[in-house]
Structure 1
Amino acid sequence: MADPSPASTRPRDAAIGTGAGRVLLLVYGIFALSAGARAGVQIATKFSEAPLAFLLSAFAALVYLAATAGLAIGGARGRMIALTSCSIELIGVLVVGTLSIFDREAFPDATVWSQFGSGYGYVPLVLPLIGLWWLWHNRPRP
């Protein structure tokens, strides 16, 4: 009988190496970079025009970065970081998305989460749902 390969003995929650997990990690990394770059430019060049919107974009970038790190770390600690980040992201996109529609004066310029992420093809709305689903589907089993 052959020895089990290291990949087959890995815990289920550390399976970020799978195709879907790698894609999720890549998308979160891209969003961390793009939201961070956007917020950095906006804060540096026109902060006084819409400080709330630009700070929310910077916050979104930090949430995406934390989710990326949690997914990359894996294990119980990484899983908790990713679950927390995806949950904060979902709440953030729902709250900011709703407020940006009903209180346009508070959001004179768009954030990553404005209008439920419409500026990013609604990926910010769908991404935390996919992330939470993936984490649930790949949770450790007793």
Structure 2
Amino acid sequence: MTETERTPAAATGEKQPFDLGTGPGRVLVWFYGVFTVAAASRSIVQMILDFGRAPLAYVLSAVAALVYGFITYSLVRGGEKARRTALVCCAAELLGVLVVGTWTMAEPSAFADATVWSDFGMGYLFIPVILPITGMMWLRRARTA
């Protein structure tokens, strides 16, 4: 083993890759993981038991679960490409929360049942609207680290 192989990247002046799942990123991974399971479980059960009652709401909850799962995976995977992908997904998630939240407030009759993003995530203590903002802040910080 040569001296450069034993020397950490920081000591040689190389920029170390930023681990997205450390520090505050670990909390984001936990929240996104929990929301992945919650949204997926909810939508699967609702689609199996009573899909005809509120198909739009149940499909939107399934889409939320997919977005949450992809962000979770990206945060755990790490790296610049995963960071950029997670940033785009967080922006899409925020857009979804804002659109669905506004839609459910303006036209409540359009939804026979609530989605994860209904009323800006009020049923989930507004975490669905806070999470993408927090995620984007962390991912932008990770870029400069």
Q: What TM-score results when the alignment is normalised by the length of structure 2?
A: 0.87
Tell me, yes or no, if structure 1 residue 82 matches structure 2 residue 86: yes
Cα deviation, 1:84-125, whole Å, max 9, x if unaligned, reads 110110000000000001111111100000000011110000
CA displacement at 1:19 relative to structure 2: 2.0
Tell me, yes or no, if structure 1 residue 105 matches structure 2 residue 106: no
Q: How many pairs are equivalent?
A: 137
CA displacement at 1:81 relative to structure 2: 1.8
Work out which of the residue numbers 98, 110, 115 in structure 2 matches 1:94. Answer: 98
CA displacement at 1:70 relative to structure 2: 1.1
CA displacement at 1:140 relative to structure 2: 4.2
- The amino acid that maps onto 2:90 is C
- The amino acid that maps onto 2:61 is S
Structure 1 regions of 5+ residues with no counterpart? Answer: none
Structure 2 regions of 5+ residues with no counterpart? Answer: 1-5
Distance 1:77 1:15 in 2: 12
Structure 1 match to 2:3? none
Q: Is the alpha carbon distance of 1:4 and 1:61 closer, same or farther for their aligned partners in structure 2, counting shifts above 3 Å? A: same
Distance 1:119 1:103 in 2: 17
Distance 2:106 2:31 in 1: 29
Structure 2 match to 1:30? 34
Stretches (4+) displaced over 6 A = none
> Does the 8 Å contact 2:21/2:78 carry over to 1?
no
- The amino acid that maps onto 1:15 is D
Distance 2:93 2:139 in 1: 14
- The amino acid that maps onto 1:19 is G
Distance 1:53 1:125 in 2: 17
Distance 1:17 1:108 in 2: 37
CA displacement at 1:3 relative to structure 2: 3.9
> Is the radius of gyration larger for structure 1 or structure 2?
2
Q: What TM-score results when the alignment is normalised by the length of structure 1?
A: 0.89
Structure 1 match to 2:54? 50
Query: Between the two proteins, what is the percent identity of the paired residues?
Result: 47
